[in-house]
């Protein structure tokens, strides 16, 4: 798989892993400074392996919320991975254990890199290399963060949480060259921002999927306009 991808893609994957490692260090440090034992963020990162869900669960736990509320928040944020699974279903074909591992390692980044390519071999290589590299680097960084947490004062002062959305934005930008995708993303962003003050964390992101309606309806409208134009041209000929 390493030979399948070009150097540019491998470099981009490495940079994404580096950026997410900074976020992982922040997560480990925040968990420890918040009073949790060092093993909790480490085990959570291995079992859950979802940055947004981990931060949401950690925030609820540190605020005094129960385990049920923390798990529910994580599941709500991870609901976005369901459509991602459909997007990379062709990559995860195979034995049940390989599909299970692939489902566990599916992240926004691995799906984004897979969707950059159309050829099956490139899609598969991009997904698995990014997924494995992300899993290894994330968990190592979380472990480092838990050990460094005792030496860090105010973890929020570093602003490392901004690296996570910045990485996702950088991955999404190439797809915005398509007009239909750009319109769908804009509608989804407006809906999410408008709903943020009104709904609990996680729901605005799911509501952003409304933008997909625009992406689905646009080809249908174009097809209808083309058909209507052809009928009109036919009438003029007659």
pLDDT at 11 > cutoff 70: yes
Residue pLDDT, tens place only, 183-219: 888 888 898 889 888 876 666 777 787 887 776 666 5
Residues 35, 24: Cα–Cα separation, whole Å: 17
Residue in this structure with the two tokens 């625009």, named with its chain if needed: 214
- Quick one: pLDDT at residue 52? 77
Residues 206, 73: Cα–Cα separation, whole Å: 13
Token pair recorded at residue 172 = 């999404």
pLDDT at 233 > cutoff 50: no
The residue that leads in pLDDT, 112 or 151, is 112
Average pLDDT over residues 32-55: 84
- Quick one: pLDDT at residue 97? 87
Residues 115, 85: Cα–Cα separation, whole Å: 12
Q: pLDDT band for 154, please (50, 70, 90 cuts).
A: low
Q: What is the pTM of this model?
A: 0.66
Residue pLDDT, tens place only, 54-93: 877 777 777 676 777 777 777 777 777 888 888 888 888 7
Arithmetic mean of pLDDT over the chain: 77
pLDDT at 224 > cutoff 70: no
Helix (H) or strand (E) holding 168: helix 163-172
pLDDT at 1 > cutoff 70: no
The residue ranges of every structural domain in the chain are 7-173, 178-238
């Amino acid at each position: 798989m390493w030979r399948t991808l070009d150097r540019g893609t491998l470099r981009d994957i490495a940079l994404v892993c580096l950026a997410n490692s900074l976020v992982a260090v922040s997560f480990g440090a925040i968990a420890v400074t918040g009073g949790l034992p060092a093993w909790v963020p480490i085990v959570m990162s291995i079992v859950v392996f979802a940055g947004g869900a981990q931060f949401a669960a950690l925030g609820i736990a540190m605020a005094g919320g129960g385990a049920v509320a923390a798990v529910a928040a994580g599941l709500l944020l991870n609901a976005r991975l369901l459509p991602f699974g459909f997007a990379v279903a062709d990559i995860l074909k195979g034995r049940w254990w390989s599909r299970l591992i692939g489902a566990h390692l599916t992240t926004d980044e691995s799906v984004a890199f897979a969707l950059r390519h159309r050829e099956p071999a490139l899609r598969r290589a991009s997904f698995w290399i990014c997924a494995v590299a992300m899993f290894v680097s994330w968990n190592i960084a979380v472990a480092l963060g838990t050990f460094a947490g005792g030496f860090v004062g105010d973890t929020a002062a570093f602003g490392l949480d901004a690296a996570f959305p910045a990485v996702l934005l950088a991955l999404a930008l190439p797809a915005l060259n398509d007009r239909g995708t750009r319109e769908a993303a804009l509608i989804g962003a407006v809906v999410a921002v408008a709903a943020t003050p009104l709904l609990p964390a996680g729901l605005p992101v799911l509501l952003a999927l409304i933008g997909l309606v625009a992406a689905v309806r646009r080809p249908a409208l174009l097809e209808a306009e083309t058909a209507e134009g052809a009928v009109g041209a036919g009438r003029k000929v007659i």
